[in-house]
A and B are shown apart, each in its own frame.
Chain A
């Protein structure tokens, strides 16, 4: 019996299960480090122990003589990576990606200085411990707070202005506060890993953790100056990434170089400690935000400035202050975005990226304002509800955020909330409610899908996209099943290999929209092809097998490229979310417990209810981690992380998390794509940290403006 699914609030057992579920629960799903490759060797990186300066000498003898060690690759002996070499026809760029093993410069602590390759993992690891370097140390700076005066705008003057500058100052009600988001590290469960094998001098295969096999393929081809089609990148299963695999990192280059040196395949798996220094992080960001409002809660001005950290060699920018431009209707907005260059690795987008950082400040400040105004925080937001995009003036392609507010408020029991902080105490715990909202652009990129109907009735979908966990394949199969009118179990989805048709990176909440559109269009085209064969355009769902047999065809296939039209010119497209949280705050110890969560997504039509629900639940938990415990800490005297492990960098465990209501407005967006589906990954997290902080304030009267909200800060 088909169970009716409440798409507004699916339960964990509702809807079609993941197509790769069986592989994942049996251990048969193979991740990048798990391929059997003949002649495999093992590489282990050695990191610098200084934070800024140069290597003056290296002692690799002991490592080279250790049992099983095949090579020790350093800047002194590494073959030059062609793509690292300066192009004499162009001026040398001031900044650019780290060129591993290219010279003796050290710009952050833990920067790879050697790769030890051995016949077994244990021997490579031991060999790596024997590599010693002498340095010429130079002063370093790893603290954003201490060098905020050296901030600079990454583009132009870094300023944005709409209406009157600093209009908030003239308002009768105003809030001006500083907020800090600590460095968060993605820390997907799967360690970043690559197996690199040279098949010929100009031909390479890598099994690599990446959110985009095509992007990695292009990067590798460019760096090693070999034809793109000679680089095969495989990433069939990705054990989470959250942004950390959105670019090609130095360790990937190192493994490829190493494989060249030992003339054998090299497997390189980062250690958990490496994960803090080698594959990006959400940058430590200081923000100041000021909001002015009239007595009836109309926003009159927002001023928002942010200083985010970046490395000494690259500018990493994200949309931290953008949230203030277009989340709420406000006539006067001015923002300033600066970077601070430090002796750290380059940050990268981490789920929700800058918008999550910005939303913590904006949604916290609005909450503070609501108490000044003695106005319900939802009501304050409704009074400043943007009916059109305040930045561009364009209408929204769809926006049902007001419905989301209502759904979330109903589910959390918002009417139980007391406006007075600290008003409810039960068994030694304060009880409080908080909410916070998020928005993120909804995108659609070009993507290509090959769809093949076989005579056994199987439909095979092929595209290069990675699936890092959201259930992309499952959603694609559901789209195809509906379009083709065939059962989902007849459909196979093949992905994550660079010789498959082009697809964008899995990132920025765009996959279902981009690749889903291509699946939709490919199925439409394939169906048309069948209908042409039949000569009857009216046959909605033909018997594909019968038609193939009648025409004596082994299969029928299409390869369809799908692009959006000019709808983006006319509409502002965004996904929206609102998170509601009930917390318990221990009156004596300052411990915060998440008691109940309702997260609502206005992300268009829900294609795959089961996996969508999990994605929203997962985003909420990511946001809880950001709010309550995640912080990568550097001892600035040494410039080195001191909690670069899973015992000291806390992410939520099962005991931290209650049942979470994942709710969907589930109304299709009429413009973005044929499915009416908008993205979900980012908004599932954006706004959550503020919701928690706001709930902690409502519970205890303690406003924490520096994440994470650990017991010491609540007690202080």
Chain B
């Protein structure tokens, strides 16, 4: 690992003052960044430690639940307010990584984690995300773990987070601090599709800091489920995952939220499928129809083409669990 300058500015303002310099990276839990630095994928000159900033609180606001960017994944997953109000988030968090990593990883860091694409990680391989213009190793390569939605010829990497899939489904907002003050972004718009600039994972601009997320209140807590399909039962990234949340009254779906992981460069919200469920009975048939609708526009690249079949199967299964049909 390259040497770097280690900084620990005392306040959020002091952090904002230093992070807009090129070659500067923020470190919180470090579970992804240190890994990337060890592999020479990330080579910061300056590392800004923000762990001491007061951004760990989980609180109820007028409109929802606020979670500080530095709240640990483990803490959020065990928090009573989260369990009561947003169980889908807790389920997704518990499906990710390992207990040790969840004790280190923060909510903000989880959002900022980079793809696990093997070509991205190996500095001898072509990767447009790591070195723009170098090509995409996965496009015609071993792309079993890769995207079926929203990919480009430049990049078919997927975002690896479970937490983010649930936050996308739950209409969360990202709260971002910058030199000019705070701004809010719908969670579904925070991460980007690769297009011609796969090196950019999200909408955060230089000098900005995620300070928290806010999840609006909803009626999903009774009928939520996070289903993650992976190559082993735990401690593995998703082949496909689905966050499903239903608001059911008298057997009829009032509202539905669906998002997928392991299928796109960002948590993949399934708006059409959600709409198709509204006003319908919570039945297996309806779930399967919605799942098929969700797959419109999906594209396989060879090794990952199984996701075209696994995807809808997982959506339907997750909805069944959410509705209590399993």
Contacts and interface: CB of A to CB of B under 8 A. Distances in A.
A–B contact at 8 Å CB threshold (below) = yes
Interface of A: 49, 122, 125-126, 129, 427-428, 586, 588-591, 593, 628-629, 633, 635, 637-638, 640, 642-643, 645, 647-648, 650, 652-656, 708, 710-712, 715-716
A640 B124 contact: yes
A642 B236 contact: no
A267 B267 CA distance: 44
Q: Can you list the 4 inter-chain pairs with the closest CB atoms, starting with the nearest? A: A712-B306, A655-B234, A655-B233, A642-B118
Contacts of B2: 126, 129
B232 A628 contact: yes
Interface of B: 1-3, 40, 116, 118-119, 121-122, 124-125, 137, 140-142, 144, 229, 231-237, 239, 306, 309-310, 313-314, 316-317, 326
A428 B124 contact: no
A640 B125 CA distance: 9
Contacts of B140: 637
Nearest to B126: A638
B130 to A, nearest CB: 14
B233 to A, nearest CB: 4
B229 A49 contact: no
B122 A588 contact: no
Contact of B137 (A586, A589, A635, A710): A635
A647 B160 CA distance: 12
Contact of B231 (A125, A645, A650): A650
A661 B155 CA distance: 47
Contacts of B122: 640, 642
16 contacts: A588-B314, A588-B316, A593-B233, A628-B231, A635-B142, A638-B125, A640-B125, A647-B116, A650-B236, A653-B233, A655-B234, A711-B231, A711-B310, A712-B310, A715-B313, A716-B306
A143 to B, nearest CB: 12
A111 to B, nearest CB: 13
Nearest to A50: B124
A715 B310 CA distance: 8
B142 A633 contact: yes
Nearest to B2: A126
A652 B141 contact: no
A653 B231 CA distance: 11
Contacts of B309: 715
B317 A656 contact: no
A645 B237 CA distance: 13
Given A589-B229, A635-B142, A642-B119, A428 B310 contact: no
Given A589-B313, A715-B310, 6 more contacts: A588-B316, A642-B118, A642-B141, A711-B239, A712-B144, A712-B306
Contacts of A126: 1-3
Contacts of A640: 122, 124-125
A480 B114 CA distance: 57
A629 B326 contact: no
A128 to B, nearest CB: 10
Contact of B310 (A49, A427, A590, A650): A590
A637 B314 contact: no
Classify the interface of chain B: helix, strand, loop or mixed: loop
A589 B313 CA distance: 6
A710 B122 CA distance: 24
A427 B326 CA distance: 7
Contacts of B313: 588-589, 715
A635 B310 contact: no
A177 to B, nearest CB: 22
Given A126-B1, A715-B309, A648 B118 contact: yes
Residue of B231, B306, B326 ringed by the most chain A CB atoms within 10 A: B231
A514 B108 CA distance: 58
Contacts of B314: 588-589
Contacts of A428: 317, 326
Nearest to B117: A642
A629 B232 contact: yes
A650 B310 CA distance: 20
A360 B141 CA distance: 28
B232 A655 contact: yes
Nearest to B116: A647
A68 to B, nearest CB: 11
Contact of A591 (B1, B124, B229, B306): B229
A564 B280 CA distance: 78
Contacts of B144: 712
Contact of B317 (A125, A588, A647, A708): A588
B1 A125 contact: yes
Contacts of A645: 121
Nearest to B40: A129
Contacts of A653: 232-236
A712 B239 CA distance: 9
B306 A715 contact: yes
B124 A656 contact: no
A712 B304 CA distance: 9
Contacts of B310: 589-590, 711-712, 715
A505 B146 CA distance: 44
Contacts of A589: 229, 310, 313-314, 317
A642 B142 contact: yes
B141 A710 contact: no
A633 to B, nearest CB: 6
Given A637-B141, A642-B118, A647-B237, A710 B231 contact: yes
Residue of B116, B118, B313 ringed by the most chain A CB atoms within 10 A: B118
Residue of A49, A593, A642, A650 ringed by the most chain B CB atoms within 10 A: A642
B106 to A, nearest CB: 20
Contacts of B239: 711-712
B232 A654 contact: no
A209 to B, nearest CB: 22
B232 A656 contact: yes
A715 B121 CA distance: 29
A375 to B, nearest CB: 34
A129 B3 CA distance: 12
Contacts of B326: 427-428
Contacts of A654: 234
A708 B144 CA distance: 14
A654 to B, nearest CB: 7
B260 to A, nearest CB: 13
Contacts of B234: 653-656
A586 B227 CA distance: 13
Contacts of A643: 118
B240 to A, nearest CB: 8
Nearest to A109: B124
A652 B239 CA distance: 17
Nearest to B38: A125
B288 to A, nearest CB: 10
Contacts of A712: 144, 239, 306, 310
A591 B144 CA distance: 16
Residue of A122, A125, A628, A638 ringed by the most chain B CB atoms within 10 A: A638
Contacts of A648: 116, 118
A126 B4 CA distance: 12
Contacts of A656: 232-234
Contacts of B232: 628-629, 650, 652-653, 655-656
A480 B30 CA distance: 52
A77 B254 CA distance: 74
A653 B234 CA distance: 7
B123 to A, nearest CB: 9
Nearest to B229: A589
Contacts of A716: 306
A427 to B, nearest CB: 7
Contacts of A49: 124
Contacts of B306: 711-712, 715-716
Contacts of B40: 129
B101 to A, nearest CB: 11
Contacts of A588: 313-314, 316-317
A428 B233 CA distance: 17
